[in-house]
Amino acid sequence: MTDELDTVEALAQISFVVQGTLEHRASEHGISLVQTRLLAILRDRKPTMNELALLLGLDKSSTSGLVDRAQRRGLVRRVPSQLDRRSVRVRLTEQGRLLVQVVTSAFADDVAAMLEPLSAEGRAALIGYVSEVLQAHTATHGVQFRTTATRQSGR
Amino acid sequence: MTDELDTVEALAQISFVVQGTLEHRASEHGISLVQTRLLAILRDRKPTMNELALLLGLDKSSTSGLVDRAQRRGLVRRVPSQLDRRSVRVRLTEQGRLLVQVVTSAFADDVAAMLEPLSAEGRAALIGYVSEVLQAHTATHGVQFRTTATRQSGR
DNA sequence: TATTGTTATACTCTATAACTATA
DNA sequence: TATAGTTATAGAGTATAACAATA
């Protein structure tokens, strides 16, 4: 109960630092954290508006507005579905794909630099613990969709 | 270069999960993440508006509005400074102190539960690595002020 | 009737620029 | 003149409720 609170503190702080880093990189390229999340989600999906709202954890109306603004910047497109004429699919434009790539790879460099002080073994151990936590959390709570981190080739 | 990217992914995901957890707890009690940060900062400070803006990393006008809304809810107070009559100090009300306590302790419970799957040794190792990273980061970049995590009695 | 998505409305959060009062 | 803080304005992000079109 006593040292767990210190762990809480550490986890909270690191999460603020990581998020702040991502937000900083995003704003360097003129987009917000949420817009970055949107683009990142779309890297490997062409969801309907409803699906997108679920993935983002937002109301469909909020999602609609988010897509409006991204579309106005030429980052995404609405593609009408021909199966269900009420429905649309949202997808990245080339410009959007390029932008999310630039932002997330700069971010990945930042995080890699942040982990510099650790030894290779330290990094391996850290990722092991974090993965374990994430896996359990994902099992208990909702799906853990990739949000922002760099896309990996292999895997 | 290859497994570091996986570490990036893991860190990004855990930071989203942790922030999401905090935001969820905050919204349960009717306040936003930023309001929670504001209250958390004020737990052990009575900063001027300028100092507060610096701590939050926001413009003074944004900070002023933030304090307006918190004040309207009875969570903080503006105390005029008698040294410099242009200046004010911002402080928690009892209600604000109570609220931030409730939110952060619920959050701490969430994080503790999240770390359940790890052994005691695992948690200790995790906090060790994270602390190391945070310490180096703090040295290189700005000050690391406590933002949201639970206040500890001893320490 | 139910579902998909948009629109109207209202509020929070944020920054820039202009302002007031004090120093 | 410079500094502390507020206000005016504009835009992003969010939710709720009402709506249109399609199923």
Asked whether residue B147 carries a pLDDT value surpassing 60, the answer given is no
Where are the domains positioned within chain A? 7-117, 119-155
Q: Which residue is nearest to nucleotide C15 (CA to C1')?
A: B59
- The pTM score is 0.89
Question: What pLDDT shows up at residue A5?
Answer: 52
Taking the Cβ of residue A118 and every Cβ of chain B, the question of whether any pair is shorter than 8 Å is answered with yes
Asked whether residue A37 carries a pLDDT value surpassing 80, the answer given is yes
**Nearest C-alpha of chain A: how many angstroms from B72?**
26
Question: What pLDDT shows up at residue A6?
Answer: 77
Got the DSSP string for chain A? --HHHHHHHHHHHHHHHHHHHHHHHHHHTT--HHHHHHHHHHTT---BHHHHHHHHT--HHHHHHHHHHHHHTTSEEEEE-SSSTT-EEEEE-HHHHHHHHHHHHHHHHHHHHHTTTS-HHHHHHHHHHHHHHHHHHHHHSS-----SSPP-S--
Question: What pLDDT shows up at residue B143?
Answer: 55
pLDDT in tens, A78-116: 999 999 999 999 999 999 999 999 999 999 999 999 999
Q: Which residue would you say has higher pLDDT here, A136 or B155?
A: A136
Closest among B105, B98, B111, B114 to B150, alpha carbons compared: B105
Question: What pLDDT shows up at residue B29?
Answer: 94
When CB atoms are compared, the residue of B12, B19, B127 closest to A10 is: B127
How far apart are alpha carbons B11 and B17 in whole angstroms?
10
Q: Which residues of B39-62 are buried (b: 16+ CB within 10 A; e: fewer)?
A: bbbbeeeebbbebbbbbbebeeee
Question: What pLDDT shows up at residue A143?
Answer: 54
Question: What pLDDT shows up at residue B141?
Answer: 79
pLDDT in tens, B102-129: 999 999 999 999 999 999 999 999 999 9
Split at pLDDT 50, 70, 90, the class of B138 is: confident
Residues 16-35 of B with CB under 8 A from A: 16-20, 22
When CB atoms are compared, the residue of A125, A130, A152 closest to B11 is: A130
For domain A7-117, give the fold.
Arc Repressor Mutant, subunit A (1.10.10)
